[in-house]
């Protein structure tokens, strides 16, 4: 029986790179998977892909950009995910029904099967970020996801309360 994948999730926010790296190391992360659509930040250039790769390498942490799991997706006119009032979350939930998303999720899960992985986006609060939806999709597939909150703390992901799950498909219908 294959072991249950365990992944971490983190947002870089406006932290110092050193603080983010310390948090990753404290949780035993060996590979950072960047799930930003565009791996750069206008406001926090220390987290641009090139800068981040160099700093991670110095700490012995790998880097993978997985744009297939990136946000900034448009909602469909016929969206079934009307439970999300936020259009960007609704758009991402619609995108989660695509083969491209499923392929990205598979790649992330494969990476997590080989080493300790943290997926990263920009937003500090996981519930204001599409990574919480990625965590939902991972959770219904048997993975355990922990949101890193500090060097010593993390909390286990709980699937969004209004989500509806059928097998490996998750939707967020309105009520």
Q: Considering only the top CATH level, what class is 6-157?
A: alpha beta
- Listed by start position, the domains of the chain span 6-157
Q: How confident is the model at residue 48 (pLDDT cuts 50, 70, 90)?
A: very high
Please give the sequence-ordered ranges of beta strands (E in DSSP) within the chain, or none if there are none: 6-11, 31-34, 62-65, 117-121, 144-148, 154-156, 164-166, 169-171
Closest by CA to 70, choosing from 51, 50, 98, 111, is 98
From residue 84, alpha-carbon distances to 103, 154, 157 in Å are: 24, 25, 18
Q: How far is CA 169 from the centre of its chain?
A: 17
- pLDDT above 60 for 118: yes
Helix-helix angle 131-140:87-95, to 10 degrees = 40
- pLDDT above 50 for 1: no
In sign, the C-alpha dihedral spanning 110, 114, 116, 122 is negative
- pTM, to two decimals: 0.95
Q: What is the pLDDT of residues 142-167, one digit of tens each?
A: 999 999 999 999 999 999 999 999 99
């Amino acid at each position: 029986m294959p072991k249950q994948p365990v992944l971490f999730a983190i947002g870089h926010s406006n932290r110092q790179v050193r603080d983010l790296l310390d948090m990753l190391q404290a949780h035993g992360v060996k590979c950072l998977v960047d799930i930003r659509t565009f791996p750069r930040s206008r406001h926090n250039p220390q987290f641009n892909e090139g800068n981040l790769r160099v700093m991670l390498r110095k700490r012995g942490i790998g880097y993978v950009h997985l744009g297939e799991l990136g946000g900034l997706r448009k909602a469909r006119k016929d969206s079934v995910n009307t439970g999300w009032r936020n259009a960007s979350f609704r758009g991402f939930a619609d995108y989660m029904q695509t083969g491209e998303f499923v392929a990205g999720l598979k790649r992330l899960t494969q990476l997590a099967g080989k080493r300790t992985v943290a997926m990263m986006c920009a937003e500090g609060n996981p519930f204001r970020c599409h990574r919480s939806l990625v965590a939902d999709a991972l959770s219904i597939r048997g993975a355990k996801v922990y949101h890193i909150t500090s060097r010593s703390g993390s909390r286990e992901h709980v699937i969004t309360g209004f989500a509806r799950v059928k097998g490996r498909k998750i939707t967020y219908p309105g009520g």
